[in-house]
Structures are given as structure tokens and as C-alpha cells.
């Protein structure tokens, strides 16, 4: 982690599915520009943008989303989930994550 990067996330999911809590979900993480205050942010470990995400990452991510949805009373559906490449800041900065290898359908089916 680089404290000078001015970016953060609430959770990071390793390839082995382990979750690191980086920012308390009661605090704002700096991950989505003007959407920071509205969304919880997470990152998925990925060596290269062409590397696929592991089954354990999907399982743990889905469990975290369900946990947060229950805690903060939102429906865990695709309309309520954004990739960095779908936020206004992400679009303006040319962000490409989670990218084409992320299987949104798989995640939604797990929810």
C-alpha cells in the first residue's frame, strides 16, 4: 500500500479469497471520485489485466456484498454494483477495471 497514492478501498480480495479490510465501511474510501461517499469500494488482486479472477475471489466478494447489502439495506443486484470503469471518474480517467475478464453474470448469480 502506498499512502501517497490518494486512493483506498474498503476491502481487498486476494487470489486465494482472503479479504483484507483496509478502510472501515463506516468511513469513506477514495476509490470512485465523486461516487466515494455513495459506494463501498473493493479491489481484486490481479497480476495482469488479462489474468482471470479466482473462484475464491468471486465467492468471498459475493459474501462480502451480501453482508454489506444486509447491513446497509440495498439490493445486491447489478444495478447497484459498479466497476471502476463505470464510475464518472473511472470513465474520465480511462480506467479499465475490473475489465473484460471479470464475469459479472457469475457474480450476480452468486448473489
pTM of the model: 0.88
Domain that holds residue 36: 3-110
CATH number, domain containing residue 49: 3.40.80.10
Positive or negative torsion for Cα 13, 62, 81, 109: positive
pLDDT tens digits for range 47-100: 888 899 999 999 999 999 999 999 999 999 999 998 888 887 777 777 778 888
User: How many domains, in total, are found in the chain?
Assistant: 1
pLDDT tens digits for range 9-19: 899 999 998 99
Beta-bridge mates of residue 44: 13
Torsional class of 55: left (φ above 0), alpha (ψ -120 to 50), beta (otherwise)? alpha
- Indicate the helix (H) or strand (E) that contains 106: helix 104-110
Amino acid at each position: 500500500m502506498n499512502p501517497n497514492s490518494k486512493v483506498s478501498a474498503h476491502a481487498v480480495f486476494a487470489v486465494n479469497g482472503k479479504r483484507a479490510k483496509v478502510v472501515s465501511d463506516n468511513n469513506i474510501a477514495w476509490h470512485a471520485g465523486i461516487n466515494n461517499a455513495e459506494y463501498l469500494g473493493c479491489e481484486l488482486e490481479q497480476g495482469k489485466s488479462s489474468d482471470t479472477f479466482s473462484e475464491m475471489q468471486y465467492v468471498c466478494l459475493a459474501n462480502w456484498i451480501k453482508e454489506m447489502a444486509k447491513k446497509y439495506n440495498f439490493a445486491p443486484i447489478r444495478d447497484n454494483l459498479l466497476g471502476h470503469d463505470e464510475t464518472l471518474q473511472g470513465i474520465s480517467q480511462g480506467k479499465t477495471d475490473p475489465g473484460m475478464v471479470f464475469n459479472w453474470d457469475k457474480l450476480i448469480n452468486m448473489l
